[in-house]
Amino acid sequence: MSEVKVYRVTGKITKSNFKTIFRKEIRALKPEHAIEEIYKIIGSKHRVKRFHIKIINIEETSKRH
Protein backbone atom coordinates (compact mmCIF):
# COMPACT_ATOMS: atom_id res chain seq x y z
CA MET A 1 0.00 0.00 0.00
CA SER A 2 1.36 3.41 -0.96
CA GLU A 3 1.52 6.37 1.36
CA VAL A 4 0.00 9.71 0.39
CA LYS A 5 2.54 12.55 0.61
CA VAL A 6 2.26 16.32 0.46
CA TYR A 7 4.15 18.06 -2.33
CA ARG A 8 4.80 21.79 -2.67
CA VAL A 9 4.66 22.73 -6.33
CA THR A 10 6.02 26.07 -7.53
CA GLY A 11 5.55 27.37 -11.03
CA LYS A 12 4.49 30.22 -13.24
CA ILE A 13 1.68 30.98 -15.62
CA THR A 14 2.67 32.88 -18.74
CA LYS A 15 -0.02 34.19 -21.05
CA SER A 16 0.06 37.24 -23.29
CA ASN A 17 -1.94 39.44 -20.88
CA PHE A 18 -1.44 37.50 -17.63
CA LYS A 19 1.74 36.47 -15.81
CA THR A 20 1.99 35.21 -12.26
CA ILE A 21 3.92 32.85 -10.01
CA PHE A 22 2.10 30.26 -7.92
CA ARG A 23 2.92 27.94 -5.02
CA LYS A 24 0.49 25.21 -4.03
CA GLU A 25 0.55 22.19 -1.74
CA ILE A 26 -0.97 19.03 -3.21
CA ARG A 27 -1.60 15.59 -1.71
CA ALA A 28 -0.49 12.82 -4.07
CA LEU A 29 1.16 9.42 -4.22
CA LYS A 30 3.94 10.48 -6.61
CA PRO A 31 5.33 13.81 -7.87
CA GLU A 32 3.91 13.04 -11.33
CA HIS A 33 0.43 12.83 -9.86
CA ALA A 34 0.92 16.17 -8.09
CA ILE A 35 1.96 17.84 -11.36
CA GLU A 36 -1.08 16.43 -13.14
CA GLU A 37 -3.32 17.76 -10.37
CA ILE A 38 -1.71 21.22 -10.69
CA TYR A 39 -2.44 21.25 -14.43
CA LYS A 40 -6.08 20.40 -13.70
CA ILE A 41 -6.57 22.93 -10.89
CA ILE A 42 -4.69 25.89 -12.39
CA GLY A 43 -6.09 25.23 -15.86
CA SER A 44 -9.67 25.29 -14.65
CA LYS A 45 -9.35 28.24 -12.25
CA HIS A 46 -7.36 30.54 -14.57
CA ARG A 47 -8.57 29.16 -17.93
CA VAL A 48 -5.05 28.53 -19.23
CA LYS A 49 -3.77 25.67 -21.35
CA ARG A 50 -1.11 23.28 -20.09
CA PHE A 51 1.61 24.81 -22.27
CA HIS A 52 1.10 28.16 -20.47
CA ILE A 53 1.90 26.52 -17.11
CA LYS A 54 5.60 26.05 -16.33
CA ILE A 55 6.52 23.93 -13.29
CA ILE A 56 9.65 25.37 -11.66
CA ASN A 57 10.05 23.15 -8.61
CA ILE A 58 8.38 20.26 -6.82
CA GLU A 59 9.42 19.15 -3.35
CA GLU A 60 8.03 16.83 -0.71
CA THR A 61 7.05 18.56 2.52
CA SER A 62 6.87 17.07 5.98
CA LYS A 63 3.37 18.43 6.57
CA ARG A 64 0.69 15.74 6.75
CA HIS A 65 -3.02 16.44 6.23
pLDDT over 90 percentage in the chain: 83
pLDDT of residue 65: 53
Question: What is the pLDDT averaged over residues 37-50?
Answer: 94
Q: Where are the domains of the chain?
A: 5-61
What's the Rg (C-alpha) of the chain?
12
Residue 22's pLDDT band, with cuts at 50, 70 and 90, is: very high
DSSP 5-46: EEEEEEEEEEETTEEEEEEEEEEESSHHHHHHHHHHHHHHHH
Q: Rounded mean pLDDT of the chain?
A: 93
* Domain 5-61 CATH (choose: 1.20.59.10, 3.40.50.720, 3.10.20.10, 2.60.40.10): 3.10.20.10
pLDDT of residue 64: 59
